[in-house]
Amino acid sequence: MPRINLTVPFAQKDEAKRLGARWDGQQRVWYVPDGVDPTLFGKWVPELPDINIRASSYYILEATTICWKCGGRTHVYGFVLPSGHEILEPIEDGSMEFESNAAYEAWVNSPASSEWIKQEMPTTINYVDYLSKAATTRIRTLTPHFRMDFSYTTKSSYWMNHCECCGMKQGDFELHHEPRGAFMPLYPEDAAGMVLHQVDEIIEANCGGYSLDVDFFEVMQRK
């Protein structure tokens, strides 16, 4: 199990030490040592982002589309996770017994209620509201036009493309879910003009949707 580091304010260090936390002088951080109950340190455990998909490598997918606002042709970008990526799925609770509604609610809201399932087919992800720092840094080397923004359609913020000509938002529905959208090719010749930038590093994300496969994945260009 990975070590749990804590964010302990200086004024509360004595309380943390009294509960059993230890100080790592080299990394200059308090942590929970083995054998000590981590639930004692809840107020100092950094809040983790919601993540429902991850992979040890990925591709940045580059395509083009016609901006719905200005009619200009613009590059758009997305992420493809290869075969072997993992999706966080809820565990079926039909055969499980709980002492009370409170116990059930506690289970539902705990990591134990979900498990990581390995997927056999590659996928594109969309409506991404969290993207790991390394992937964020990587895509910024390709474009400044893929960034977090608010969608009045979904009433939420997510990582979305913007037109290189006029700056208008290019929503994920049109790109990922409309037939012949930029990331939904219907024919091999559509996919042949798309480019996959291979990235050999871990990606973690929280997405609202993903494809069950990537059509014509084999004919896309590689860089």
pLDDT by residue for the chain (223 residues), tens only, comes to 467 889 999 999 999 999 999 999 888 899 989 888 888 888 998 777 789 999 999 999 999 999 999 999 999 999 999 999 999 998 887 667 877 787 777 777 767 778 999 999 999 999 999 999 999 999 999 999 999 999 999 999 999 999 999 999 999 999 999 999 999 999 999 999 999 999 999 999 999 999 999 999 999 999 9
**Phi, psi at 16, each rounded to 5°:** -65, -40
**Cβ count near 197 (within 10 Å):** 18
Q: CA-to-CA distance for 102 and 121, rounded, in angstroms?
A: 38
DSSP H or E segment with residue 190? helix 188-191
Q: CA-to-CA distance for 25 and 29, rounded, in angstroms?
A: 7
- pTM for the complete prediction? 0.78
Closest CA to 172 of 193, 153, 145: 153
Rounded to a whole number of angstroms, the CA Rg of the chain reads 22
Q: Percent helix, strand and coil across the chain, each rounded to 5?
A: 20, 35, 40
How do strand 221-222 and strand 195-199 relate by DSSP bridges? parallel
